Amino acid sequence: MRTTGGQLVMLIGINVLLLAAGAAISGGSFLSLFNLQSMTSQLPEIGFLAIGVMLAMCAGNGGIDLSGIALANLSSVLSAVLVGALISSTDSAFAFSIAFMLVAVIVGCLGGMINGLLISRLNITPILCTLGTQMAFTGIAVVVSDGRAVTVGSPEPLASIGNGMLLGVPVSFVLFVAVAALIAALLKFTPFGLWLMLMGTNPKAATYAGFPKDRVLIATYAMSGMLSGLAGVVIAARNVNVKWDYGTSYLLIAILIAVMAGVRPEGGYGRVICVVMAAIALQLLSSMLNFGGLSNFVRDFAWGALLLAFLAVSRYDLVGLLTPGRRKKPA
């Protein structure tokens, strides 16, 4: 494996710079506790989706998951409709919350498994497969909800996932960090993680080495789907209502985050911590521009510039140029 501390250091550096710039623009209120809480509570929904995209990319062979936000909406809408029909969210808040979260994550997992099955068993190219399932998931969500918003309400403990604080940190962010850490550990310490990365690096070798290729693929996309389900839970918890067309812009932003985090589009390499840092960087940048009262078109430009900068850095090993002692030989 190549050394990649450089990418992480750069991401952390960028985050610190953005925090400082935000403080300068806003006269300090950018670093107020309330804004830090506000930003960290906005982060998880897109963060979950970005980790899902990263997992799919790592699987190699053109792996990508375009169905993320569609599946997140389907999980929350379907779960709200199903659970809402059986349990009242006001009378038995606790049962409703638990059932809602479970069903949403299960729907996400099943949707992801469908992706995995189609890709591994039927050998459909991931980009086409997930484009198709994306439309199918959106369609199902429209049908079950009649195209209208579905009310989830604010039953406890679901509402505290959206709005609650744990020692001053939003609960949704704590959940996000915990899940991210779990996946990072899974990738680093289990055979699954090793298989996934090696398979992404060289699928042919993986076949000859006798890896359980199909099972790894299905598990990967199922995990990506579960993350979508979690994103759906967080969206529902924060917004009170869920709707099939929420967050259509998230699709590309999630991919942007993954690429910015140095995940290799050809597969075989990606670090969860970098994805988390890249997600934070995009959040800081967009909040900072809102604080500065700049047009949202500037934000799109800034995101694009940031992405190009990162691509240039990883392509030409600029961090290596700055620290000549550790410069690696060009490939």
Partner 1 sequence: MGVKSKKVLAGSLIAAAVAVGSAGALMAADKPVIATVVKISGIPWFDRMETGVKQFQKDNPDVVATQYGPATADAAQQLQIVQDLIAKGVNALAVVPMDPSVLEGTLKRAMDRGVVVVTHEADNQKNTQADIEAFDNADYGKALNERLAQCMSGKGKWTTFVGSLGSRTHMQWVGAGEANAKANHPDMQLVDPNNESFDDANGTYEKAKEILRKHPDIRGFQTSAGNDVLGVGRAIDEAGLSGKVCLVGTGLPNPSADLLESGAITAIGFWDPKYAGMAMNAVAKLLVNKKELKDGMDLGVPGYEKVKITKGAGDGVLVIGNGMVLVDKSTYKDRLF
Q: Which positions lie near partner 1, rule CB under 8 A?
A: 5-6, 8-9, 12-13, 16-17, 19-20, 23-24, 26-32, 34-35, 37-39, 42, 149, 151, 154, 162-163, 238-241, 243, 245-250, 286-287, 290-291, 293, 295-297, 299-300, 323, 326
In the complex, least distance from residue 319 CB atom to partner 1, rounded to whole angstroms: 9
- Nearer CB in complex with partner 1: 136/294: 294
Minimum distance of partner 1 from residue 210's CB (angstroms): 35
Measured from the CB atom, the residue of 232 and 267 that comes closer to partner 1 is: 232
Nearer to partner 1, 12 or 184 (CB): 12
CB 110 → partner 1: shortest distance, Å?
24
> What is the DSSP pairing of strand 169-170 with strand 150-151?
unpaired
Q: How far apart are CA 48 and CA 61, in angstroms?
A: 22
Name the minimum Å distance from CB 190 to partner 1.
23
Q: Which two tokens stand for residue 107?
A: 């729907």
- Per the CB < 8 A criterion, the answer to whether 206 and 199 are in contact is yes
DSSP string, 290-318: HHTT--HHHHHHHHHHHHHHHHHHHHHTH
The torsion angle over the Cα atoms of residues 251, 255, 261 and 267, rounded to 10 degrees, is 140
Distance of CA 201 to the CA centre of its chain: 22
One-letter amino acid for residue 147 of the chain? G
Residue number with CB closer to partner 1 (226 or 236): 236
Instruction: Decide whether 133 or 286 has the Cβ nearer to partner 1.
Output: 286
Beta bridge partners of 242: 150
Q: Tell me the DSSP string of 68-128.
A: HHHHHHHHHHHHHHHHHHHS-TTTTHHHHHHHHHHHHHHHHHHHHHHHHHHHHHS---HHH
